[in-house]
Structure formats: structure tokens, C-alpha cells
């Protein structure tokens, strides 16, 4: 792969994503997290659907933050607005998901580049924070970028079967930025995990 030392992150606006771009992103995501019951085309449709459903302000539209190597997506992070509650207080959080680097390109800082592009949206004041899940194996990566683990209970009050079940499936929940006041109250994702 011919990635340069200073890779460029392209912010792909999901309300206007082309099928070809969505499929290239879906191919990377399927390479990292393969499933027997879905493939790149299913993942592309999901990205397109996220874009089609968005009705908010343009500056908070869902994005795929992408590094390309010719026609191949080699790094990706999905960001979108998610209204959550922390105790009784609603917050418009930047949801971070689908962070992936092509296996042949690992160790080149591409994951850091796309995640930093995501966190820049918080730093620019578009969102008060980013909230996301990750594995224990990757926690230090996010900590180095200025995120912090949260120990709050996480629920989904919109789950009719069990609103007190944690909708996240990974081991760790983190927030960015790490600093500032933080409540220990329950985080309600007000929807499924991402």
C-alpha cells in the first residue's frame, strides 16, 4: 500500500454518500469484523440508511472519516449525533463507531488520524463530548488521544424488553475529552448501542 507519511482524512457526508464509496467503506468494515449473515453490501446499505435518516443541522451530519489508498479505504471512523441523557440532563453526544484500519496498513498512525478527526468535532465545539465503546485491548490507544474510561451504568430506556440492560457490547465505555466535570449518574443511550 502506498500511504504517504501525512495521510489525508476525507469527511464523507453520509446524507450524500455514493454507493461506490459506501461499498468501499463496507468492504473495510467487513474485513475487520466479518459476519456470516452480512457482508460489505449490507454495511454499505447501513451507512446509506444512516445518511438518509438524518434530519438535523448540516454541521452535525453523520460522517465517515476516511483515508483512501487509490480506490481502497484503509482507515475509517463513523461519527454521528446521538442525544443521550446523563442523569436528567440531555446531551448531544458525538457517537464514535466503526473505527478500523486495514490490516496491511496498521502501525502507520492511520487509526489515530481518523479518530483525531472525529475528536476535532468536539474540540471545535460542535458537540460537548464524544461517547463510545471499545475493547480493553484498545483502551490505551484512546487514552493517548485524550479520552477517559467512564464507569457510569449505561442503559437504553427505549428498550421495551429490558430498559436497564447495557446496550453496548464491548468491555469499555469512554468519553472524550477526559477533562472537566463528570457526573457518576446513569448514561441513557436512548436507543441501541453503536
Position 4 scores a pLDDT of 57
* Residue-wise burial string across 103-131, b where 16 or more C-beta atoms lie within 10 A, e elsewhere: eebeebbbbebbbbbbbebbeeeebebbb
Name the residue ranges covered by the structural domains of the chain. 10-188
pLDDT, tens digit, 9 for 90 and up, residues 46-82: 999 999 999 999 999 999 999 999 999 999 999 999 9
pTM summary value: 0.94
pLDDT digits over 156-176, tens only?
999 999 999 999 999 999 999
Instruction: Detail the DSSP E strand segments found in 3-127.
Output: 10-13, 63-69, 72-86, 89-101
Secondary element (H or E) of residue 169: none
| Domain 10-188 architecture | 3-Layer(aba) Sandwich (3.40)
What are the residues whose beta carbons fall under 8 Å from the beta carbon of 170, sequence distance 6 or more?
133, 134, 135
Amino acid at each position: 500500500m502506498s500511504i504517504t507519511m501525512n495521510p489525508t482524512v476525507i469527511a464523507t457526508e453520509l446524507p450524500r454518500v455514493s454507493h461506490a464509496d459506501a461499498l468501499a467503506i463496507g468492504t473495510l468494515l467487513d474485513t475487520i469484523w466479518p459476519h456470516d449473515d452480512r457482508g460489505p453490501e449490507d454495511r454499505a446499505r447501513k451507512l446509506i440508511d444512516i445518511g438518509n435518516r438524518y434530519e438535523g443541522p448540516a454541521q452535525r451530519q453523520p460522517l465517515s472519516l476516511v483515508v483512501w489508498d487509490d480506490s481502497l479505504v484503509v482507515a475509517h471512523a463513523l461519527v454521528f449525533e446521538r442525544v443521550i441523557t446523563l442523569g436528567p440532563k440531555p446531551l448531544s453526544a458525538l457517537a464514535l463507531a466503526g473505527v478500523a484500519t486495514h490490516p496491511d496498513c496498521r502501525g502507520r498512525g492511520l487509526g489515530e488520524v481518523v479518530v483525531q478527526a472525529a475528536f476535532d468535532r468536539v474540540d471545535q465545539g460542535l458537540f460537548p463530548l464524544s461517547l463510545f465503546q471499545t475493547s480493553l485491548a484498545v483502551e490505551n490507544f484512546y487514552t493517548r488521544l485524550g479520552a477517559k474510561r467512564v464507569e457510569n451504568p449505561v442503559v437504553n430506556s427505549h428498550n421495551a424488553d429490558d430498559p436497564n440492560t447495557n446496550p453496548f457490547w464491548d468491555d469499555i465505555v469512554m468519553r472524550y475529552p477526559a477533562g472537566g466535570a463528570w457526573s457518576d449518574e446513569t448514561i441513557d443511550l436512548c436507543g441501541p448501542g453503536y
